[in-house]
């Protein structure tokens, strides 16, 4: 990214962040549903779920963090669709602004907004009894994986925002992503599931990401899961970026 692109991206990111500051309820709304799931599963279902030693909130939190991200990226698609349908992006194209900066402004805003939501959810988990002896390095790896996961899904959100025909369609794509953790190791061990469901749960991206974060929090070596998690996130990121840039070139000339 050249200095010109960097400057344009910073300016457009600032514009998007100001919109969020004027309407902070978007961040609050993003965090409400994951926190509700956290409360529901820990205090209602947690006593009936056997996940081995340790409090259930420790087992549950990694999956809740992924749900937080999946919930938050819907706003990226919504904001991009609003800019596109309102003619703002066409107006930007008439200015000496790098074309890619428009998309990167929304992407960086998503990273910032979702990071705040994740911090809120982790804070609530600590209040509910979550504890970890993870080292600063382990925390750094967890943060890196969550940011990579957020970046990957954000580019998928950009694709949805550029392709949608209606406001509802721009954000509806996130619903399957929100519920994907339910078919993974996020809430219960996969060995408790029936055959076909277990096979799907053990071979989808959420399970490897959840297992990696859970192992890091528990001070265990994540093993092969971390490489599978990075491969899934990297693959989705590349796919989303390529599709988004192609659709953007076609729609905005």
Digit-coded pLDDT (tens) for 110-152: 898 899 899 999 999 999 999 999 999 999 999 999 999 999 9
Q: Which residues of 84-111 are buried (b: 16+ CB within 10 A; e: fewer)?
A: beeeebeebeeeebbbbbbbbbbbbbbe
Residue 247 has pLDDT above 60, yes or no: yes
Residue 225 has pLDDT above 90, yes or no: yes
Digit-coded pLDDT (tens) for 20-36: 666 666 667 778 889 99
Residue 91 has pLDDT above 90, yes or no: no
Residue 94 has pLDDT above 80, yes or no: no
The packing angle between helices 99-127 and 25-40, to 10°, is 40
Least confident residue range of 22-36, 80-94, 104-118, 162-176 = 80-94
Residue 97 has pLDDT above 80, yes or no: no
pLDDT at 78: 83
Q: Are 51 and 185 in contact (CB under 8 A)?
A: no
Residue 86 has pLDDT above 70, yes or no: no
Q: How does the average pLDDT of the chain come out, rounded?
A: 84
Digit-coded pLDDT (tens) for 60-75: 999 999 999 998 888 8
Query: Confidence band (pLDDT; 50, 70, 90) for 241?
Result: very high
126 to each of 55, 68, 229, how far by Cα in Å?
A: 12, 16, 25
* Prediction pTM value: 0.89
Residue 44 has pLDDT above 90, yes or no: no
| 240: nearest Cα among 169, 173, 146 | 173
pLDDT at 153: 94
CA 144 to chain centre: 12
Q: Which two tokens stand for residue 40?
A: 């529901």
Q: What is the largest CA-CA distance in the chain?
A: 60
- The residue that leads in pLDDT, 88 or 158, is 158
Tell me how far apart the alpha carbons of residues 79 and 167 are, in angstroms, rounded to a whole number.
9
Query: Confidence band (pLDDT; 50, 70, 90) for 6?
Result: low
Q: Are 148 and 233 in contact (CB under 8 A)?
A: yes
Q: Residue 159, class by beta-carbon neighbours within 10 Å (0-12 exposed, 13-18 middle, 19+ buried)?
A: buried
Digit-coded pLDDT (tens) for 175-191: 888 889 999 999 988 88
Tell me how far apart the alpha carbons of residues 118 and 144 are, in angstroms, rounded to a whole number.
13
List Cβ<8 Å contacts ≥24 apart for 36-43.
Answer: 37/64, 37/67, 38/64, 38/121, 38/124, 38/125, 38/128, 39/128, 41/187, 42/128
Tell me how far apart the alpha carbons of residues 76 and 240 are, in angstroms, rounded to a whole number.
14
Tell me how far apart the alpha carbons of residues 210 and 217 are, in angstroms, rounded to a whole number.
11
Q: Are 38 and 152 in contact (CB under 8 A)?
A: no
pLDDT at 229: 95
Residue 2: left (phi > 0), alpha (psi -120 to 50), or beta?
A: beta
């Amino acid at each position: 990214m050249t200095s010109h692109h960097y400057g344009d991206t910073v300016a457009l990111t600032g514009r998007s962040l100001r919109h969020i500051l004027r309407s902070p309820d978007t961040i609050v709304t993003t965090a409400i549903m994951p926190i509700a799931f956290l409360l529901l599963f820990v205090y209602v279902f947690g006593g009936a779920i056997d996940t081995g030693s340790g409090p259930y909130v420790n087992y549950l939190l990694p999956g809740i963090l992924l749900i937080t991200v999946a919930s938050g990226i819907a706003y990226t698609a919504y904001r991009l669709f609003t800019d596109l349908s309102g003619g703002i992006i066409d107006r930007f194209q008439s200015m000496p602004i790098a074309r890619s900066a428009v998309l990167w402004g929304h992407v960086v805003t998503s990273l910032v907004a979702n990071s705040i939501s994740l911090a809120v959810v982790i804070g609530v988990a600590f209040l509910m009894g979550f504890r970890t002896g993870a080292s600063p390095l382990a925390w750094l790896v967890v943060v890196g994986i969550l940011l990579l996961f957020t970046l990957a899904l954000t580019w998928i959100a950009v694709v949805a925002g550029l392709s949608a025909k209606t406001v509802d369609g721009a954000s509806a794509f996130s619903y399957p992503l929100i519920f994907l953790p339910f078919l993974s190791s996020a809430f219960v061990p996969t060995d408790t599931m029936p055959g076909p469901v277990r096979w799907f749960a053990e071979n989808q991206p959420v399970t490897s990401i959840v297992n990696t974060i859970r192992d890091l929090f528990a001070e265990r070596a994540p093993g092969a899961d971390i490489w599978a998690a990075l491969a899934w996130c990297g693959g989705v990121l590349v796919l989303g970026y390529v599709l988004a840039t192609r659709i953007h070139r076609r729609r905005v000339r």
